[in-house]
Amino acid sequence: MKKGIFIIGTDTGVGKTVIAAGLTLVLRAKKRRVGVMKPVATGCFSRGQELVSSDTLFLLEAGGEDTNRETVNPIRFRNPLAPLAAARAEGRSIDTSQILRAYEELHEHFDFVIVEGIGGLMVPFTESYFVSDLIREFQLPVLIVSRTKLGTINHTLLTIEAAKSRGLNVAGIIFNNFRESDLGLDEQTSPKIISDLSRVPVLGMVPHIPKLDVENLQFGNLKQVIEECVNIDAIVE
């Protein structure tokens, strides 16, 4: 098993980028040589002659090393769609071997690699190749980022079941972006029910961070929150 973690979401917009960047900041503070990767990004914008991903820039800012952006984020699309839909819309295809080469290059340079997936486990890259297939080839354990809101029990348990049925190692779950001042009964009870039923540990409960802004590269107190709210040792070990 290679050293690293592959972060997936139960849905889009659950905060995978925030968790990935936060873990990177904390591990760097612990003097770990940690690399970041966003294999495929959609919804990119133009900067000069190239397409750039806001999520990738945020991860690179957290990483703090002069890593080749092409290696960190080898595949980029302009349209904010699932990768297969974006590829079809732009008349392109996704070369998964290009992603694997970039991943191997990162592992040669870093002790620990944090990979942020795109969406959930069953997001397709081609008609027969999904995020789950990439995780299997990367040989990394899975960290699931989920919401605490109503509906999360179904979404999270389905993600865990799909991962386990494909032979993936689910390291744990992080529930992200809840508001402590407005914590409903559903948010108070769902994480424990999910952990009890799935036998997958909850490794973190991360509250909303007011001054955090991915697009403008503003971290707020992300590092401090991750240090206080996430079981870093369980993720690294």
Distance from CA of residue 160 to its chain's centroid? 15
CA atoms within 13 A on the CB side of 132: 18
Amino acid (one-letter) located at 73:
N
Q: 142-146 and 45-47 as β-strands: parallel, antiparallel, unpaired?
A: unpaired
- Judge whether 211 counts as a catalytic residue: no
Of 6, 83, 104, which Cα lies nearest the Cα of 40?
83
**Cα–Cα distances in angstroms (integers) from residue 100 to residues 42, 135, 159, in the given order:** 18, 10, 23
Active-site entry in 2, 3, 16, 38? 38
Buried b (16+ CB within 10 A) or exposed e, 162-185: ebeeeebebbbbbbbbbeeeeeee
- Closest CA relative to residue 7, chosen from 150, 120, 151, 161: 120
Q: Which residues belong to the active site? A: 38
